[in-house]
Amino acid sequence: MKSIGIVGCGAIGRALIAAVTSGQLAVRIAGVTSRTEKSARDFLGTFASPPPYMSLSELITAADLIVEAAGGAVVQSLAEQAFAAGKDLMVISVGALLEHPEIIKKSRQSGCRLYVPSGAIAGLDGIKSACVGAVSHVTMTTRKPPNGLEGAPYLVQNAISLVGLQEEKEVFSGTAREACRGFPANVNVSSWRGIGSGVAAVSLAGIGPDRTRIRIIAVPGLKRNCHDIEVEGEFGRLHVHIENVPSENPKTGKLTALSIIRSVQDVVDPVRIGT
């Protein structure tokens, strides 16, 4: 049975452990680690039969697949260590791949697999297929409640306040690369929910981070995070609309956790459905 090592102690790690415990996911959890041992042990203490705590080096040695769920700041170093050990890596903080494209290059050079789940974004299979041919544009429009955007670096740097907003307001328009830098997922603000991973995944599946256009709109009273992706090219036109329900951790959508579970399942399942 294939084993996974989980780096990070949050909603994704909890969802994976629950899926394995219930038998939904046919893998073995080799262990869990975090940047601080105390946070990892506190996290594991909430389970009746927790997997073991391990140091990062122990985890990489013990697991077949390393699952990153700890934020973009760890991705570069983690990829270097995992690939050096000949291990496959699943990256949840996809925005880090735009800042460190050498990770993708190293995966191809080493032969170690780099998995990038769809997360909260549906339709990546269609985008990948469409972009084999000629594509004129890929545009992603994200709508969030104002409190889901407050604290984003782009808003802080440009002195954009959403306090008391009464009507929807476009707060950003630019490339996917610019959006990932201005709205990263690893900002330490309790109300801020990063969008970087979804934006990065769309750009990597399609025409790249410098040609993919992003709009971000704050909508007062909105209860779900909504995304509209439009692709137009020689194949025709693709329009994907997504409304994500937040999970128990408001920074992580429910669909994101489900996507990670399914992505790990696909790693071990000989049958592959979809592009």
Q: Say if residues 257 and 249 touch (Cβ distance below 8 Å).
A: no
Q: How far apart are CA 182 and CA 130, in angstroms?
A: 28
**Catalytic residue flag (residue 227):** yes
Distance between start and end Cα atoms, the chain: 25
Q: What is the CA radius of gyration of the chain?
A: 19
Q: How far apart are CA 139 and CA 90, in angstroms?
A: 26
Residues 6+ apart with CB under 8 A from 34: 7, 8, 9, 40, 43, 70
DSSP 183: S
Find residue 176's DSSP bridge partners: none
At 138, list the tokens: 């890929």
pTM of the predicted protein model: 0.89
At 178, list the tokens: 């610019």
Q: How far, in Å, are 111, 171, 188, 218 from residue 150 at the CA level?
A: 41, 11, 12, 10
Closest CA to 185 of 119, 243, 138: 119
pLDDT averaged over consecutive 10-residue blocks of the chain (275 residues)?
A: 92 93 94 91 92 96 96 94 98 92 97 93 94 96 89 93 94 94 61 67 95 96 92 97 71 78 94 87
Q: What's the confidence (pLDDT) of residue 188?
A: 40
- 137, 227, 239, 241: the active-site residue: 227
At 72, list the tokens: 């973009």
At 115, list the tokens: 């998995």
DSSP 60: H
At 219, list the tokens: 């909508």
Q: How far apart are CA 24 and CA 251, in angstroms?
A: 24
